[in-house]
Every structure is written in C-alpha cells, then in structure tokens.
Structure 1
Amino acid sequence: MGLTNGLASPPGKKPLFSFGIISDVQYADIPDGHSFHGVPRYYRHSIHVLQRAIQEWNSHQDLNFVINFGDIVDGKCPPGQSLDAVKKVNYEFQKSNRPVYHLIGNHCLYNLPRDKLLPLLKIPGVNGLAYYDFSPSPEYRIVVLDGYDISAIGWPQGHPKTLKALEFLEKKNPNSDKNSPEGLQGLDRRFVMFNGAVGREQLEWLDGTLQDATKLKQKVIVCCHLPFDDVASDQEALLWNYDEVMNIIHQYNCVKACLSGHDHRGGYSIDSHGVHHRSFEAALECPPDTDAYGHIDVYDDRLLLFGADRMQNTEMYFNS
C-alpha cells in the first residue's frame, strides 16, 4: 500500500470507471524560474506535459473523463497576456476526446476573475462559486470543492468574501506580506493569502451531498485544489479550514479519498478514519522531456493511480 513503482490492475477485474488527472500546469510564456523555496519551474515546457497527457488519455480506450486540479496558468504570466494564456491552455484541454472537469486554483485567479474564468472553463456553479458534484457510475460520486470560496483573490476588491478573507488573514498572519508564512508555526503556516477557505454555505452543501451519497450507498471521491492533510502536503499548502471540511467528511463512511493539487511535490497519506489523501505532483516542475500526469482506475474496493514519470503510482485500498 502507498506509493509504489510497480502497479498492476487486479486480474480479471475491470474498473467501474477511469479518469485522467493533471495538476498545476501553470503555463506562462516566460523563461524558466523557481519557486519561493528554490524549486525549478519550467513555465513554457509545462504545456508540453499537458499535450502528452491529452495524447495518452485519448489513446486510453476505457478512460471516461479527465480532472484538471487547477492552476492552468502561472501568476507570473505577463500582464495583458492572461486571457490569451488561459485560452491557449484550455485549447489543449479541449483536444481531449473525453469530458474535462476543471478545478480553480490560486494561479487561475491571479490571472482572471471568476466571472471570466468559470464560463471559459465551463465550470458549473452558482453565483461565481466553483463547487459541484457528478456521478460517473451508480456506485460513486465525485465531489468538487471550491477552496477559494473565501479568498482575497478572484473576487472583486470590495466583495464580502474578499473582505472576510482579508480580515481573517489580518488576525492569523502578522506579516505585512500575507503570502509569507514567516514566523508562523506548524499548522498556522497555512494562513497565507495564496490559500483560501470553504464557506459556510458550501460546507452545508457538502454535508447534504454526503448525506445523499450515503442514502444511495455511493462511495465518494472529494477533489479540491487545496489539500486537507498535512502528511500528504506541506502545512503551508493546506486549506484554511481543512479541519472543518474533514470534520464533516469524517461523519460519514462514504468518502474514500481526497485528491488535490497545489502542493507541487506530491504526497500520500491515510488519515485516522481510513480516508486516503493524495496531492499530485505538478506538471510545472517537470524538466524538459519529463512528465507528471496519470489516470486513476476506480474499483469497488480501491483506487489505482497509474502515474507517468514523476507522477508516482499509488494504491489506495479501502478499509470497508
């Protein structure tokens, strides 16, 4: 169990469904750079990772859909080029011969406001929010959360959600640069501006959705750009109120896995309730001619992630 190099489908068993995954493409037409921590970033190459992913997924006979875990264009994209860059990456996604479901990330919102971004990516949602669910098979439900529901980015400057986020950060982060976790300890390092929170209305929706899934005897896979577990992710990448989200999730036995991006390095854990957490390796950090994408085969009792190159294979067996 866990991250593995060799992975095989169970003999004689066909997946209920399969889906492609990629995260943090963060394309920009700028020279290579590096993260705040000095990790190399390959802004122009990342779109080639996506192109190879689409080609691979299109050749996969049994793939049902694709999930993009957010951040398709980098925040360093030159001013005035954001819309064209988003359209360029989205054009590559549109070459998929399977449906593509998008999540929004902080870098998406650095480039375009929600009212432009969501229609462009055909993200369903109400009042500019980007949470939704769908059932690819009677046995399963995919729940997509909007981790920037309460956020200082993406909403108009005077929007109540922006003001709430800024007030929250003022209380939690003493730094003048609210993107800096300097001086914050442990889990408090998540209180930075490049993260966000799930709002009250969305939490209630999540609770109701999991109730419904339980009644229908469905297993649930929760997807969010931001991770919920500090073993599968750096603490400074976590959703501000991951604890509230997990308190709801842990009330039910239906949620089997929480999948995310944002952390870039990738990680995996199983929490105390047996829920699997997998944050995905970033396409952005693939040197030329390397890749980070994959597909997940979904069975009644497990998820099998088959990764390309830097994307680690992962077996996720369910307790019950």
Structure 2
Amino acid sequence: MDMLVNVDFQILMGLAETDTMISAAGVATKQPLFSFGLISDVQYADIPDGRSFLGVPRELLPLLKIQTLDGRAYYDFSPVPEYRFVVLDTYDISALGWPQDHPKALEAMKLLREKNPNENKDSPNNLEGLERRFLKFNGAVGKEQMEWLDGVLQEATELEQKVVVCSHLPLDPGATSKEALLWNYDEVMNLMHRYNCVKVCLAGHNHTGGSSIDAHGVHHRVLEAALECPPGTDAFGSVDVYDDKISLVGTDKMESTDMHFNP
C-alpha cells in the first residue's frame, strides 16, 4: 500500500510484508511495521502556480486525493491497526489562506492586533519570549478542530493505538525557535497530554530543524527544510516504525533521529 500525505512536509508510506528479516550475517532482525519517506518545506512544484491566499481555494488536497472532513485540511488515518496518524491544520485560524473578510481571518487579525503591536505583523520586534510566536505567517488550531482532535485521541486510546501527530507549525518550544510556534501550541499540547497515546509529533516551518522530548515523554521532531539546501545538497529522510520506536534515517542536511517510547 502506498500513500502520500502533505502537511507542507510529505510522507510516502508503504507497509512491511514480514515481521522479521535476515541480515547479511544471517542474523534475524526485527522488521518495521511499516516505513515511509518524508521531505519538508519544498515550497516549489513544477506545475502552474496555485491560486492566491486571498480567498480562492488551492489545488493541493484534491490533487493528492487526500480524504478530508468536508474539505477541511485536517484528518487522520491508520496505515496499520497499531498506529494512527493525525494531520493538523495549523493555519485553521490564520491571516493567510482565507478571504480577508472570512471569520477565521478576522479572528486571526484580532489576535495579532492584541498580541503584536508592530505595524508589520510579521515582525517580532519588541515581543518577548514565547510572545514572539504571534506573527502573521503563523496560525492556530480552531475550536472545532480541537474538539475533533479530542475525539480522535479518545478513540485512539480506546483502540490502544499509538499516535503520530503531523503539523506544519511546531508544537513544542523546545524543538523550534519561538517565532515558528503555533499560536495556541499550549492548548494543543495540554489536550494531547490528557492522553497517553501520542508518541511523536512531526512538523516543519522552522527550516533549520530541531528535536525535543517534552515533559510527558512525547518526541517532537521539526524537519530540516529542503528549501534551504544549497545546490547539490538534499534534505529528506526515510522512517521505520516499530512497536516501541520510530527511526528517522536522514539524508544529507536532514539529521537522523531515533525516537524511543513505551509501547
């Protein structure tokens, strides 16, 4: 089974066919449950330009045939019974991607006016600490999506599934610059921490990458951006998923990371 998922990083997924494999030395080794490839922040495609963020919908979700809830850009899927992937729309509340008079854009601009006194809302000047995340090129997860996420995590807990959360904007301050954080990262993290099913969070946006393990043992991995690669270099990875760990093998600018957790 092959599957392509895009949250401004892409995941190409395939299922493993056997539980064990034999190494070159003749030793049996554990085969991953499934594997996938990923790349972050390409921000280019050799196709006609997408439509603008001033209100006209983009091409991406229908083009990749991603199943969504009524066209929303958040969704979940299970490649194997043991795992569930949850893809968040971190621009649900945003000044980008909506018509300027859309309620979600108006909500975003109201928040930016309250939190960012600069005329240029993409500037963090005079903002201190975690307040530096309130920039126009970031966004938030809305109330309806939060309720959906709560239901998904509750169901995953009941099914004893391990959850991998995927988002464009990072969720943990320990894994990224403050300027790249989701506006309501704390609300999303508090919700996730109510459950024990979330094991790994994958994100993009902070082009230099980063990683952390939060206070609840959740691994956060922000992926190095392909956009920042000089000519002749790359940044992509392959991931093997096991019962008790997720192993990212990076190529070139993308660092390798082993993420161990309680099964």
Higher relative contact order (CA 8 A, sep 6+): 1
TM-score in terms of structure 1 length: 0.70
Aligned CA distance change for structure 1 residues 287 and 253 (closer, same or farther; 3 Å): same
Paired residue secondary structure (2:187): helix
Which structure dedicates a bigger proportion of its chain to helix? 1
TM-score in terms of structure 2 length: 0.85
Quote the residue 2:40 is aligned against.
23
Work out the CA distance in 1 between the residues paired with 2:237 and 2:138: 25
Tell me the percent identity: 64
Work out the CA distance in 1 between the residues paired with 2:35 and 2:134: 35
What is the CA-CA distance between 1:120 and the residue it aligns to?
3.1
Work out the CA distance in 2 between the residues paired with 1:110 and 1:296: 32
Counting only pairs closer than 5 Å after superposition, residues 146-161 of structure 1 correspond to structure 2 as 146-161=89-104
Counting only pairs closer than 5 Å after superposition, residues 191-210 of structure 1 correspond to structure 2 as 191-210=134-153
Please tell me whether residue 314 in structure 1 is matched to residue 262 in structure 2: no
Residues 210-259 of structure 1: CA deviation (Å, up to 9, x unaligned):
00000000000000000001111101100000101001100011000000
Q: Structure 1 stretches of 5 or more lacking a match?
A: 1-8, 28-71, 74-82, 87-107
Letter in 2 for 1:278: R
Work out the CA distance in 2 between the residues paired with 1:292 and 1:114: 29
Paired residue secondary structure (1:274): coil
Please tell me whether residue 13 in structure 1 is matched to residue 42 in structure 2: no
Quote the residue 2:168 is aligned against.
225
Quote the residue 1:76 is aligned against.
none
Quote the residue 1:175 is aligned against.
118
Structure 1, 138-147 or 109-118: larger mean CA deviation: 109-118
Quote the residue 2:48 is aligned against.
84
Letter in 2 for 1:235: K
Please tell me whether residue 250 in structure 1 is matched to residue 193 in structure 2: yes
Work out the CA distance in 1 between the residues paired with 2:49 and 2:132: 31
Paired residue secondary structure (2:204): strand
Work out the CA distance in 2 between the residues paired with 1:269 and 1:257: 10
Residues 178-210 of structure 1: CA deviation (Å, up to 9, x unaligned):
111111111001000100000001001001000
Count of residues in Structure 1 that have an aligned counterpart in Structure 2: 238
Superposition RMSD on alpha carbons, in Å? 2.1
Aligned CA distance change for structure 1 residues 18 and 112 (closer, same or farther; 3 Å): farther
Q: Structure 2 stretches of 5 or more lacking a match?
A: 1-22
Moved beyond 2 Å, runs of 4+: 108-129
Is the Cα contact below 8 Å between 1:274 and 1:319 reproduced in 2?
no
